[in-house]
Amino acid sequence: MTTILSEADASALTAARVVDARGTGCPGPLLEAKKAMAGVAVGDVLELWSSDPGTKTDVAAWAGKVGHGFLGSVAAQGYDRVFVRRAK
Amino acid sequence: MAEKLVIMVTHGPDQPVLASIAFAMAGGAVAYDVEVVMIFQGDGCLLMKKGVAETVAAPEFTPLRELLPTLREMGAKFIACSPGVKMYGLSQEDLIDGVEIATAGRFVAEVMSATNSLVY
């Protein structure tokens, strides 16, 4: 079980890869996360940007299901920065 | 055993919202490492005609021209219903490469062996 970080702690994370999925339609951000994770080393963090308010809960559920660590999200200007640690 | 989701698509390009929802659910499922089988029946068969999916888009959904290749890349299977294909005067060569044509028995087999199924 991964602990969900506070916004301040999540903001301090250094992502190995940042994917900008802002403006993509459903299920764009989730698929972008899935594809991008293949290029992230186990233990490293993927940061996904999405302008869809559903993405942070969607990605949290996805990470739980496929076995990655959902670290939390940070609200930015008109989008969310969503952090996931590759666990396998 | 891997989980499997069957998505039956009975609406075609004249119902772009319903068609887009079906593909969006397929996209969600492949992201979840769920095996996806999309079955196209009736008007849905038109979505498997070469060049048609590229024209289908709905607001707030990923356009099919982008989503369909991603789904294929991620292993989703597409099967079109034989009566529907013939009803529109189509044949195998009119369909997107790799699309299978099958009939009810095969679809029942896919549904009965799936973890769950959705109909749009």
- Count of CB atoms within 10 A of residue A17's CB? 15
Backbone angles phi, psi at A63, to 5 degrees: -60, -40
Which chain B residue shows the shortest CA-CA distance from A38? Answer: B31
CATH superfamily for A7-85 is TusA-like domain (3.30.110.40)
> For A62, which of B24, B31, B70 is closest by C-beta distance?
B31
Predicted confidence at residue B2, as pLDDT, reads 86
The helix (run of H) or strand (run of E) holding residue B111 is helix B104-112
Please give the domain boundaries of chain B with CATH numbers for all domains. Answer: 4-119 (3.40.1260.10)
Predicted confidence at residue B1, as pLDDT, reads 55
* pLDDT(A21) > 60: yes
The helix (run of H) or strand (run of E) holding residue B18 is helix B16-31
Q: Per-domain residue ranges for chain A? A: 7-85
What tokens appear for B62 in the block? 């990923």
Query: Which of B25, B70, B74, B118 has the most A C-beta neighbours within 10 Å, making it the best mutation to test the interface with A?
Result: B70
* pLDDT(A1) > 80: no
In this prediction, the answer to ipTM > 0.90 reads: no
Closest CA to B95 of B26, B22, B45: B45
> Each residue's pLDDT tens digit in chain B (120 positions)?
589 999 999 999 999 999 999 999 999 999 999 999 999 999 999 999 999 999 999 999 999 999 999 999 999 999 999 999 999 999 999 999 999 999 999 999 999 999 999 999
Instruction: Give this prediction's pTM.
Output: 0.90
**Which DSSP string corresponds to chain A?**
-PPPPPHHHHHT---SEEEE-TTPPBTHHHHHHHHHHTTS-TT-EEEEEES-TTHHHHHHHHHHHHT-EEEEEEE-SSSEEEEEE---
Residue B9: CA count within 13 A, CB half-sphere: 32
Chain A: closest CA distance from residue B106 (Å): 28
Q: Are B79 and B40 in contact (CB under 8 A)?
A: yes
Mean pLDDT over A32-45 rounds to 96
A26 is catalytic: yes
Q: For A76-88, write each residue's pLDDT tens digit.
A: 999 999 999 999 9
